[in-house]
């Protein structure tokens, strides 16, 4: 049984004081009506400690949006996995399309990050997704299959359940135009089958999320999608009320 996972990706938003107010509000809302989903907030590095402290004693988790896969050393501006671990991060987003496109991250680096995160006991949330032109050419499954294989190639089959995959079509991110729940379910099914076949891994225990213009208005659709175990939320996660509403769509205790 895979517990639903609802993740906030704040991207480059929220100062530390803003994060504190947000977390207090989110905590209150989810204390009133606790969700059955596991809830994770991934703030910028500068607000991780604030979020961690605000969530102490609750089921809410803090994660990060990125890290550099070397243990330590001369990497000006970078943050290591042990730094995230020391701040109690349980999850880290890896290979978001904004990092691939704006910061030139390659599948090679992303694969390295997945491996290093797992070795350090932090769950990587690996983002994969196709562009609109790849989609119109009918290449979605091929592209996603390739991304999964290159980014997961360092793992042993038994490590697959320790990865979360987030299917985020690039054209759906921040566009207000989400994929359909049917698309997400189809892709999740494809990803499980392909990894099962090629890596012979236990993909039934692996969680697959959908991300891209998820809102309180369309969440019911995704929450009901077969084989889709949760969502990665950008824009709508910046408002605690909206994010709590999204988390509650997975059922309340």
Query: Total number of residues binding ligand PGA (CB under 6 A)?
Result: 13
User: Given candidates 9, 35, 80, 147, which one binds ligand PGA under the rule CB under 6 A?
Assistant: 9
Q: How far is CA 57 from its chain centroid?
A: 23
| Secondary structure class of 41 (helix, strand, coil) | strand
User: Given candidates 173, 187, 223, 246, which one binds ligand PGA under the rule CB under 6 A?
Assistant: 173
212 is a site residue for ligand PGA (CB under 6 A): yes
Compute φ and ψ for 173, nearest 5 degrees: -75, 120
Question: In the complex with ligand PGA, which residue's Cβ is closer, 5 or 199?
Answer: 5
Question: In the complex with ligand PGA, which residue's Cβ is closer, 126 or 199?
Answer: 126
Rounded to a whole number of angstroms, the minimum distance from the CB of residue 102 to ligand PGA is 12
129 is a site residue for ligand PGA (CB under 6 A): no
Q: Which residue is nearest to ligand PGA (CB)?
A: 234
Only one of the segments 131-139, 197-205, 209-217, 239-247 lies at the binding site for ligand PGA (rule: CB under 6 A); that segment is 209-217
149-185: burial string, b at 16+ Cβ within 10 Å, e else: eebbeebeeebbbbbbbbbbbbbbbeeeebbebebbb
233 is a site residue for ligand PGA (CB under 6 A): yes
Inter-CA distances, 230 with 117, 197, 211, 246, Å: 21, 24, 9, 10
- What is the DSSP code (8-state) at residue 88? T
234 is a site residue for ligand PGA (CB under 6 A): yes
191, 126 contact by CB (below 8 A): no
235 is a site residue for ligand PGA (CB under 6 A): yes
Only one of the segments 38-46, 48-56, 166-174, 183-191 lies at the binding site for ligand PGA (rule: CB under 6 A); that segment is 166-174
Tokens at 148, concatenated = 């999964």
132 is a site residue for ligand PGA (CB under 6 A): no
Active site residues: 96, 168
102, 142 contact by CB (below 8 A): no
203, 195 contact by CB (below 8 A): yes
Q: By CB under 6 A, name the binding residues for ligand PGA.
A: 9, 168, 173-174, 211-214, 232-236
């Amino acid at each position: 049984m895979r517990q639903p996972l609802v993740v906030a990706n704040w991207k480059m938003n929220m100062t530390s004081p803003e994060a504190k107010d947000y977390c207090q509000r989110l905590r209150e809302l989810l204390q009133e009506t606790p969700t059955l989903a596991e809830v994770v907030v991934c703030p910028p590095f500068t607000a991780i400690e604030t979020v961690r402290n605000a969530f102490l004693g609750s089921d809410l988790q803090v994660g990060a949006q990125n890290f550099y896969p070397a243990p330590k050393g001369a990497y000006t501006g970078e943050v290591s996995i042990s730094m995230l671990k020391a701040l109690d991060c349980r999850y880290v987003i890896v290979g978001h399309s904004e990092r691939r496109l704006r910061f030139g991250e390659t599948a090679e680096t992303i694969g390295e990050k997945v491996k290093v995160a797992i070795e350090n006991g932090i769950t990587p949330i690996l983002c994969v997704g196709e562009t609109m032109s790849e989609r119109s050419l009918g290449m979605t499954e091929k592209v996603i299959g390739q991304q999964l294989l290159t980014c997961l190639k360092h793992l042993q089959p038994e490590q697959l359940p320790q990865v979360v995959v987030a299917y985020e079509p690039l054209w759906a991110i921040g566009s207000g135009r989400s994929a359909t729940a049917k698309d997400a379910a189809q892709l999740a099914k494809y990803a499980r089958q392909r990894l099962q076949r090629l890596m012979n891994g236990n993909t039934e225990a692996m969680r697959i999320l959908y991300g891209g213009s998820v809102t309180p208005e369309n969440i019911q659709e995704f929450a009901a999608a077969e084989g889709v175990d949760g969502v990665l939320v950008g824009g709508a996660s910046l408002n605690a009320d909206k994010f709590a509403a999204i988390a509650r769509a997975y059922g309340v205790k």
